[in-house]
Each structure stands twice: as C-alpha cells, then as structure tokens.
Chains A and B, each alone.
Chain A
Amino acid sequence: MRPGGNLERRKLFDRFMLGLLILGSLLVVAPLVLVLGKVFLTGLSALNLAFFVEPYRPLDEGGGGLAHAIVGTLMMNLLALLIGGLLGLAGGILLSEYPDHPVNPFLRVISDLLNGLPALLKGLVIYTLFVIPMGRFTGLAGALALALVMVPIVLRATEGVLKLVPWSVREAGLALGLPRWRVILSLVLPSALPGVITGLMLGFARAAGEAAPLYFTAGGNLNLSFSLGDQVESLALTIYKYAGEPSPVRQEQAWAASLVLTLLVLAAGLLARWATRKR
C-alpha cells in the first residue's frame, strides 16, 4: 500500500474497480445469454414432430427430419459411454485406490495430455487404427473416438470423488475380511456413486457435442440406420454440415439440432448438480 494515499481518492478508485469487475462479469455472461437465447428462439420455432421421427428427405420432399442423426448420436454415445466409462473408471480407481502403483505417474500425465489434446486428433488416430483396417466408416469407430473424448473427463471425476471417500470406509471393509477388490467395488464405489455418475454424465454431454472426431470415423449417413456397423450420422456433425448450406430448411434443422444438444448438455449439468447435492 502506498503510504499517504488520499483516502477519498482510494475509495473512489475502489468503486471504479468494482465497476470494472461488474462490467467484466457482464461481458462473460452476455455471450452466454446471447447464444442460449438465439439457440432457444430459433431452435424452438424450427422444432417439430418431423424433426424427431423422419430421417433425411430431399428438399423437394420437405427436407425430412433428423431422426437418423438422433438415433446415431444416441447409439454412438451410449457405446462410447460404455467403453470410455469403463476405461475412465479403471484409471480413476487405479489412481485413487492404488496410489503407489508404478503406472500412476504415467497414467496421470497421459490423462492430462488426453484431456488437452484436440478431439480432432482423437478421430485421426481411430481412422488409422480402425477405419482403414476395417475397410469402412462405422458407428463403432465413431463411438471409439468419442470414448477417447470421455476417458479423461470420467477419469478425473472418478479419481476426485473416490479420494473423497474416507479411508475409514476402506479400513472397515478390510477389517471385515473383505478382499481389496470387493472393498472397492462394494463399498468405495457405491458410496461415491453420485460423483461417479456426475463424471459419466459430463463425459456423455461433452462427447455428444463433438463433431470433429466423427468426421473421419462415423462418416455420416443420410439413411436411418440402427446398426453401429454402418456409417452413422450425428447431430453435431449435421450442425456442421448444415450450417454451411444455403437452404433455409437445412439451416433451421441445424438450429433445431443445436437446441436438442443444448438441452442435453443442460440436462446433464442439472442432473450432475442434483446427484452431487443429494449427499
């Protein structure tokens, strides 16, 4: 503190800085309001029943809906949740329950790395590892790429909540004569379940919005397909493709798809909050 400062002036400056802080905060909140407002307004007016039940149709037949993309998004993301969830849980358990394991330092570095790597690169690696050997784009490959998006999110969340479980729980289990793995699966995980689910939900929401890794893996498909062995469409991919289209019908579909994805993200966030608050 500079001695001899004029108190009046310092108070004025204090006010001024508060004003700046409020202004800065508004600058952060404003885009959120603008984006959400636009998505809701335009998306709502573009949403209709056909959007959910009809697959792609040519423009001269009305343009159809995005059922193919909704089905594809759900299929790929559920499988990705299974794979990515398993990998992330395994990593989280290793880091938290076996803190001295020699693999841990590597795993932690790799998980941090994976978290920051562009999703695009995750799609590239799946393209060379799976798509080329299999000889086709598949929903399966898309799900694998999305799983890579989920892994670090689930891993971090799992590690974090497992560490919150008091050691006394584990000690009690071990004292009862339970083997360590039963302690982890039957005592530690269940008591941290809300947090684990939160991690899974956040991973799911994040992956559902990813388009970049799907471009070279799922390939996209205008037909409605219920098979992950086919090429599969996704909502995020559709938004990217339709955003560039000059046709207003396609543009509206992109906004409607954005609304659906936004609702998914909001729901995941709220559910996650609710799950963690319950404790």
Chain B
Amino acid sequence: MVFPLAHIILWLSSWAWVARSSQIHEEAASSFFERHAISTNATSSTHTNNWAVLVCSSRYWFNYRHMANALGMYRTVKRLGIPDSNIILMLADDASCNSRNKVPGSVYANPGRHLDLYGDNIEVDYRGYEVTVENFIRVLTGRMDSSVPRSKRLLSNERSNVFVYMTGHGGNEFLKFQDNEEISAFDVADAFEQMYQKRRYNELFFMIDTCQANTMYSKLYSPNILAAGSSRQGENSYSHASDSDIGVAVIDEYTHFTLEFMEKINKTSPASMKELFDYVDSRIKNSRPGVRTDLFRRPLDTTRITDFFGGVAQVEIVPPLDSSMAPPGVSSSLAEPPQSLQSKPNSMPSAKAQTTSGNTTWLRLWLGGKTSRAWASITVVGVLAGWVASKK
C-alpha cells in the first residue's frame, strides 16, 4: 500500500522541482540584463518621437473611474503634444454611452463635472470586447495581421519613447481584462523584452494604477524601462472621489494626483519625473506608490516629463543657403498659469471604492510562496489517495 503512494509523491515532487528550476533560470537572465542596462549612462533623451498606449481593462458602469483614468491620461498626452496617430487608446467599455450616464456623451473625472474628458475629438482605437490580453500584447510586439489599420498599430522605432499606462482591477502579479482573462507580470515583461529585441523603443515608461500595482512591474527585465505603480504588494488602490449625480466613483487616487500635477505642465515645461513622483507620493494617502528605476539609465531628476508625455524633443533650423546647424534641444521656463483639475473641493465625503477582486486575502495567503503552493498540492493529492486506499 505504501509503495504506490511513494511513487505518486516522487512523481509530483519531481514535477514541482522542474517548475521551480525554470524560474531560477529566468532570474539569472534578468540579472544579466540589469547589469547590461547600467553599463551606459546618458543625461538627455535621444528620442525623436513619442508614442502612448493607454489601457482601461475593466467593463461595466461601476468601473466608470477606470475609464475616466485612461481618458484623463489620453487628454494629458494629447494636450502635451502626442498626436492621435501615435496614441493607442484601449477602453474596455463605453461609460459615456451607458444608459445610466446622466450626462450622455461625457465622462468626467471630478465631482463637479468641470472638464469633459470625452469631448468632441477623441479616437478610441480598441473598444469593448476588442480590449483583450492578446490584442494588447499584439499592439506592443507589433505581431499584427496585415489587415489591421495604421491607427491600431504601435509603429514605433528605436528612437521612440513609449508610454504605457494601464488601469483596472488587479492583484498580485496580474491585471484583470474584461471579466474572463488576466495578464500577468510575466506577460508584460516578455512583451517589453520582445519590443526591446526588435528595437521598438528608445525608452519606455510603464505606469499602472491597480491594486498591488507594484507587483506588475516586478518581473520586468529589459533595459531602459522606467516603471511606476500605485500601490505595494498587499495594498489596495482606492478611488479618489465620487459624483453624486453620476452615482459612482469618478477617478482613482493615484491617477488623480498624477493628472493634477500634469495640469501644471505644458509642452515646453522642464519639470522632471522626480517632481511628479514626489508630488504623487506626498499627496496619496491610502497606498504607497512605487517607482522602479534599476532598468533605467538616466537619473530621474534630469528626465523630463515631456520626454514621455510630450511631442517632439529637437528641431533643427535649416537655412536655405547656409548649411550650419542650429543647437538642438531648446528649452524655456515658460509656464502657464496652473489650473487645477479638481478646482472645487466636494463637500460630500468621497466614498472609497476598492479596486480589487474581493477574494484577495485568502488568495494572497494561498499564493504566499511558490514552494508552499507546490507542496500543498502534493499533500492534497497524497492525502486523498492515502485516505481512499486505507479505507479498503
């Protein structure tokens, strides 16, 4: 009786061992790339064009705030000079046309409904059920069918700075798409690596606003990536404010403060990424945002926000007759009067909506360690088989 049981345990444990050892190889590879990334150092960006991929992965009316997050980012990158042809906007649902929307055709990110994010000039490239993990990875890697139109493609090259923003419901190392699938941190890391291998970016900025968002960038291993997330492992990201007429939360805390800071930035502003992160860090209360810089070559205080959110970095003046060059990379201290995104504080206490799938706590316990998970499954099978065999 003991003999077959021992066999089962032997078989299962060898399986678990193989699964673990492949992970060790992955770690070795990623440490190699990290070393490679630090070897070069530069202070100013060498990009010539900017691209943005903005993803809202949640459906349904009660996820209004996720659509507002993505649309707020869309408005900002467009205002700062990335043309619509270089923005891939993926919205999993259409809150503006929802029958429960009291102001049809509009999406607002603040309780007073001051700024319509939907507006009259918006180009949603992937909408509704087109927003899938597969399509997202196809956009990043460029592995598209030849019939896909230009507006749905990320046609970046090795001189492009790419901004990838994601929002939705997530957990430890995953982000839920629609209601039936999820993208893992490994998928995102592999997609970025494929972009790096085909030189589809010069620098990449990955920003994610979801629960336990920082776990989503923990698996990245390709060079020249700057990553920022809204909350640490085990923390939830919360919404910021709700509108009593719309009836749901209208924006998430992390994105709200990011956008609030961005409203003070104009196309020629010299503000650095460090200022942005410091600002968001100091305002956000319910979670601890994170930044990952070990893959990024440049110091954050000299990396301009407009390197990722802006349009063109350099111009060259070409006199028609004389061929001497103008100095590139011009700057100015022009600053528009700051206008706040949320100009009126709302008297109503803002309801907190939790950005998580409800079962996180037990899931986290269960998913605590990789090895314990593997051993737990062996034990379950072993106990079952032993119990039946001993009953006789």
Binding between chains A and B: no
Interface on B for A, CB 8 Å cutoff?
Answer: none
